[in-house]
Structure 1
Amino acid sequence: MMVGDEQSVALVLNRLRRAHGQLAGVIGMIEDGRDCKDVVTQLAAVSRALDRAGFKIVASGLRECMTGEGDGDGEPMTEEQLEKLFLALA
C-alpha cells in the first residue's frame, strides 16, 4: 500500500486519473489519424503527469522508506535502494 497522508494520496490519485484521461485522448487521436505533432504533444503531457505522480509518491513516502515504516518489512532502505527507486522514475 502506498505510504503518505490522505491528502498526498488524493493528489496522486487525481494526477493519475488526469493522466489516464489524457492517455485515452492520445489513443483516440491516433485512431482518428490526427497530426503527429498534436499526438506527440499530448503524449508528452501524459508522460509529465505520470512523472509528477511518481515523484509525489516517492516524496510523500521517503521518510517511511528511510525508516522502514512504509515498506512492509520494517527494515530501513539503504542508500542504494533509495537511489534505485529515484532512478526508476528517470
Structure 2
Amino acid sequence: MKATPIEHDLTLWVEGDVPTRMFYAGRRWTVTDTPTRLRDSIWSVQAGHRGGLYGWRFQATDDAGDSLVFDVYPDADGWHVHHTYA
C-alpha cells in the first residue's frame, strides 16, 4: 500500500463518536468497514504530533464504487485527512 498525503476540506458525520460517512475531495463517501480508533502512538510517529491526538482509520466508498482507506484526525479547525491508501 502506498500512503498519499492530500489536502482537501473534510466534513465527517459520526454516530456514537464513530465515523459513518463524509464529504471529501468533492465526493460523498460512505464508511464501508468497521473504523479503527488510532491512538497517540501512531500520530506521534507518523505526524509529529504530541500526546492527546486521536483519529480513525476506515475504508470508505464513493458513489462511483471507488474505495480508499482513510486516516483522519480532529483538531481545532475540524476533521482532516492525514493519509489515504489505495
Q: Is the TM-score greater than 0.5?
A: no
Q: Which has the higher helix share?
A: 1
| Larger-Rg structure | 1
TM-score when scaled to structure 2?
A: 0.20
Q: Which has the higher strand share?
A: 2
